[in-house]
């Protein structure tokens, strides 16, 4: 089962990210991914965190987050109603012509973008569900991953129910 996704609005001020991540640390939980970005109203930011926790523990974490002064609203996103995306930048070693051909095929199959290509490497951008990125990385591991960077999950629920901004 994929990790739970929690989204919350916070005041856009120094130290909030530290306080939130410290709460998870004190409770002994590793944050699988975290993304933070300012909203249209720059006084607020949206944080999206994925964490592997059972229902009771997750409920307790959400209650603790909700008690923080800087947190405006917090919600566990319903996995059946949530669009989740993550971006991967990956540099693949493609000196071998067959490796280059395979890399281009895998990137195209994932609807990825070629950002740079030279005699030795291809840099691509892949966007999708975290599990899709994991699958893509499994395919290209044999080609040779020179370097990679992942953004972490960002998510939003479908329909009229909103976290509120």
Residue 4 and residue 49: Cα distance in Å, rounded?
8
> What is the predicted pLDDT for the residue at 1?
64
| Strands 44-51, 113-117: pairing kind | unpaired
Rounded to the nearest 10°, the torsion over CA 19, 79, 148, 100 is -170
Residue 119: which CATH number? 3.30.70.1150
137 φ, ψ to 5°? -60, -35
User: Domain range for residue 102?
Assistant: 83-154
- Both 63 and 25 in a single domain? yes
Q: Is residue 161 domain-resident? A: no
What's the distance, CA 134 to chain centroid? 12
Q: Does 93 map to a domain?
A: yes
Task: Give the model's pLDDT for residue 165.
Answer: 45
Same domain assignment for residues 146 and 112: yes
The whole-number pLDDT of residue 114 equals 97
pTM: 0.83
CA angle 126, 111, 86 (to 5 degrees): 30
E strands of 52-150, at which residues?
71-76, 82-93, 113-117, 121-128, 145-150
Among 76, 97, 116, the domain-final residue is 76
Q: Considering 76, 109, 124, which residue would you say is the last residue of a domain?
A: 76
pLDDT one digit per residue (tens) for the chain, 165 residues: 678 999 999 999 999 999 999 998 888 888 999 999 999 999 999 999 999 888 888 898 899 999 999 999 999 999 999 999 999 999 999 999 999 999 999 999 999 999 999 999 999 999 999 999 999 999 999 999 999 999 999 999 998 755 654
- For residue 85, list its beta bridge partners: 154
β-strand partners of 36: 47
Q: What residues pair up with 87 in beta bridges, in sequence order?
A: 127
> What CATH code is carried by the domain that includes residue 51?
3.30.70.260
Residue 148 to residue 92: CA distance in whole angstroms? 9
């Amino acid at each position: 089962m994929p990790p739970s996704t929690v989204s919350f609005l916070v005041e856009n001020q120094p130290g909030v990210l530290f306080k939130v991540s410290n709460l998870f640390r004190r409770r002994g939980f590793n944050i699988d991914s975290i993304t933070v970005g300012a909203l249209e109203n720059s006084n607020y930011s949206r944080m999206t965190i994925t964490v592997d926790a059972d229902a009771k523990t997750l409920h307790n974490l959400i209650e603790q987050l909700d008690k923080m002064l800087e947190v405006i609203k917090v919600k566990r996103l319903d996995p059946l109603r949530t669009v989740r995306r993550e971006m991967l930048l990956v540099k693949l070693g493609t000196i071998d012509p067959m490796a280059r051909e395979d890399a281009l095929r895998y990137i195209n199959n994932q609807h990825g973008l070629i950002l740079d290509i030279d005699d030795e490497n291809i840099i691509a951008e892949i966007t999708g569900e975290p599990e899709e990125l994991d699958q893509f990385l499994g395919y290209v591991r044999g080609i040779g991953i020179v370097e990679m960077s992942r953004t972490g999950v960002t998510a939003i629920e479908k329909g009229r129910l909103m976290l509120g901004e």
